[in-house]
A and B are shown apart, each in its own frame.
Chain A
Amino acid sequence: KAGVTQTPRYLIKTRGQQVTLSCSPISGHRSVSWYQQTPGQGLQFLFEYFSETQRNKGNFPGRFSGRQFSNSRSEMNVSTLELGDSALYLCASSLTGQDYEQYFGPGTRLTVT
């Protein structure tokens, strides 16, 4: 069974631009969560989607948004990029979101210049 895939793996953007990251969960998994990983703040929860609905959201500004499609694939969008948005963005999938085990993708490394 294929694992969680994230595209692109690496991205370089300029301040003020916007970016869209994509995550394809493991087949059959309906819950997708997004996390931001930075050296200073560590791993922080962004949001979780299940059946195209956002169920939980972390403490991030409204510039961070996401959505989930009917095939459970998810995208996250960051508008008006700031230097501090440079990070590794990880997505994780699970069957229902109530499971103990979440499976992580390799991440998208975003660099904002």
Chain B
Amino acid sequence: GNSVTQMEGPVTLSEEAFLTINCTYTATGYPSLFWYVQYPGEGLQLLLKATKADDKGSNKGFEATYRKETTSFHLEKGSVQVSDSAVYFCALSERLGSARQLTFGSGTQLTVLP
């Protein structure tokens, strides 16, 4: 079956540091890939997505590139802010019959210190 593996947390960075959160996946077909973010006490928000190989998703300074050859979708940001502190989830989506189903990684807690 499908699975997503992302780097263990927690990750603690100083403000303006460079961020990388690794994510690799296993899928039987050609999934779409996502990064979701969860702030304390809230549900998940879609951060960015890529629907085919070599696509780059980007939003709010975050980027991730769909690498089929390495089955990876690593999240990067050049300069993190305190407000980026949250839990980040990598996920994949494949069509199952007439619907899509999300499979999530275990999440990475990010804390950014001022």
Q: Is the CB of A98 within 8 A of B107?
A: no
B44 within 8 A of A: yes
* A18 vs B44: C-alpha distance when bound (angstroms): 26
Q: In the complex, which residue of chain A has the Cβ closest to the Cβ of B107?
A: A42
Interface size class of B (residues with CB under 8 A): 20 to 34
CB distance from B44 to the nearest CB of A (A): 4
Query: Chain B: interface secondary structure?
Result: strand
A-B pairs under 8 A by CB, number: 60
Interface size class of A (residues with CB under 8 A): 20 to 34
B114 within 8 A of A: no
- From B43, B51, B89, B103, A100 is in contact (CB under 8 Å) with B51
- From B34, B43, B95, B96, A105 is in contact (CB under 8 Å) with B43
| Known pairs A42-B107, A56-B96, A98-B95; A104 contacts B45 (CB<8 A) | yes
| B window 20-42: CB within 8 A of A | 32, 34, 36, 41-42
- Other 5 A-B pairs with CB < 8 A, given A31-B99, A35-B102, A45-B103: A42-B106, A43-B89, A43-B102, A100-B93, A104-B45
Chain A interface residues toward B at CB < 8 A: 4, 31, 33, 35, 42-43, 45, 48, 50, 55-56, 90, 92, 97-107
Chain B interface residues toward A at CB < 8 A: 32, 34, 36, 41-46, 49, 51, 89, 93, 95-107
